[in-house]
Amino acid sequence: MKVVGVYSRNQTAAEQFAAARGIRAFPSLESLLDEVEVVHICTPPVTHEPFSIAALKRDKFVICEKPLTGYFGDGSPDFHGDRFPKQVALDAALASVERILEAEAASRGRLLYAENWVYAPSIQKEREILEKTKGQILWIHGEEAHSGSHSEEYAFWKFCGGGVLIGKGCHPLTAALYLKRVEGRTRLGRPIRPKMVSARTHAITRLPTFVDMGHIRCDYYDIDDFSMIHIEFEDGMIATVFASDIVLGGVHNWLEVCANNHRTICNINPNTAMLTYNPREEYFKDIYVVEKIGTKQGWAFTSPDEDWMTGYPQEMEAFYRTIAYGEPLESDSRLAADAISTIYSAYVSAEQGGKAVPVRTFD
């Protein structure tokens, strides 16, 4: 694969990005699509549907970052993400999913869902264990948390389709959905899908009682910064997923699988591949330790290759092999669709005080 160029609505930023990498800055999405076979959509979630459909209509392969799509408001200038019925968001998100799936079905291209957790080495090792031992997953427990996103757009529902539940919760959730699919196709010849979800969401940093000490991002406009969801699958087994923007000490990414014949703890971040002790902050001033650690002084879970541990290079290699050679795809549009359906059903549940809500799945 050869990277040809980049498109951004901010042409100045696109030109600077392109110049630094020796590639082209295209003046429009259409001009870029005319000259490539594959497009990687790394823009805010509000743009995922139109960009994906535009590429699929031109028979391009689409690598779409997470989340796949969502509900981004009614377009009014005073839209506020925590002041509308969440059933509206669920209905709109599912309609968006349907449009993307219809575009893919009519295309010679394909949508590849860029959920790096699926390709993290520990998750793929658990896939191997499930396939070779034919284990039954009884309970999955997962979490993604840290002290807040760097993205300015992340503070607004209208750009990201929600808060931490979709922005961070999509990762452990999709990994859980994926592993139940693996179990199902191994033992039963078909994926095991989510059936019901219940949830609670909170906006801790927007409470008047929250005390800001300067370590946790707290400028969110209308989104949740803590969520917990409970999923029941078709076979009656369960998963619980936490997502939070109020955790210090770096990124906390992990998934625990409790099966009938084994137990696995996938420590994506932090992990003990490397531990360092640094007595003075300035010693490590030019050394990358680990994402969002806050300080480089003292003991740290220094990551020798953070991208590898989180599955990014493995994800891209797998996608390119699918595109070039037709190899089976582990993270596809149906997995993405089930994740979106579960997430927005969870928002409905949270609005209803945690009542269980059915999850629609896409075949």
From 69-73, 289-293, 340-344, the region with the lowest mean pLDDT: 289-293
pLDDT digits (tens, 9 = 90+) for 266-276: 999 999 999 99
Cα-Cα end-to-end distance for the chain: 31
* Distance between CA atoms of residues 318 and 63, nearest Å: 11
Instruction: Decide: pTM greater than 0.85.
Output: yes
Instruction: Return the pLDDT at 1.
Output: 73
From 11-15, 28-32, 74-78, the region with the lowest mean pLDDT: 74-78
Q: Nearest CA to 48 among 27, 67, 73?
A: 67
For the chain, domain boundaries: 5-112, 118-266+324-358
Per the DSSP assignment, residues forming a β-bridge with 41 are 64
For the chain, what percent of residues have pLDDT higher than 70?
A: 100
Instruction: Return the pLDDT at 9.
Output: 87
Instruction: Return the pLDDT at 363.
Output: 82
pLDDT digits (tens, 9 = 90+) for 2-29: 899 999 989 999 999 999 999 999 999 9
Taking CA atoms, 251 is separated from 300, 315, 346, in Å, by 12, 20, 23
pLDDT digits (tens, 9 = 90+) for 194-244: 999 999 999 999 999 999 999 999 999 999 999 999 999 999 999 999 999
Place of tokens 């100045």: 12
Pairing relationship of beta strands 61-65 and 38-41 according to DSSP bridges? parallel
Confidence grade of residue 352 (pLDDT, cut at 50, 70, 90): very high
DSSP 158-199: HHHSSSHHHHTTHHHHHHHHHHHHHHHHHHTSS---EEEEEE
**Mean pLDDT rounded to a whole number for the chain:** 96
Residue 332 DSSP one-character state: B
Q: Nearest CA to 40 among 93, 94, 4, 72?
A: 4
pLDDT digits (tens, 9 = 90+) for 130-154: 999 999 999 999 999 999 998 999 9
Q: Nearest CA to 265 among 347, 175, 155, 358?
A: 175
- Do 170 and 64 contact (CB within 8 A), yes or no? no
CB-based contacts of 165, cutoff 8 Å, min separation 6: 199, 201, 224, 227, 229, 243, 343, 346, 347, 350
Q: Around 222, how many Cα atoms within 13 Å sit in the side-chain half-sphere?
A: 17
Q: Nearest CA to 313 among 124, 148, 137?
A: 124
Taking CA atoms, 179 is separated from 47, 80, 123, 236, 344, in Å, by 28, 35, 8, 15, 21
Q: Is 144 helix (H, G, I), strand (E, B) or coil?
A: strand
Instruction: Return the pLDDT at 197.
Output: 98
> What kind of architecture, by CATH, is found in domain 5-112?
3-Layer(aba) Sandwich (3.40)
Instruction: Return the pLDDT at 2.
Output: 86
Instruction: Return the pLDDT at 240.
Output: 98
Structure token digits, residue 224: 């949740």
> What kind of architecture, by CATH, is found in domain 118-266+324-358?
2-Layer Sandwich (3.30)
pLDDT digits (tens, 9 = 90+) for 301-337: 999 999 999 999 999 999 999 999 999 999 999 999 9
Q: Around 345, how many Cα atoms within 13 Å sit in the side-chain half-sphere?
A: 24
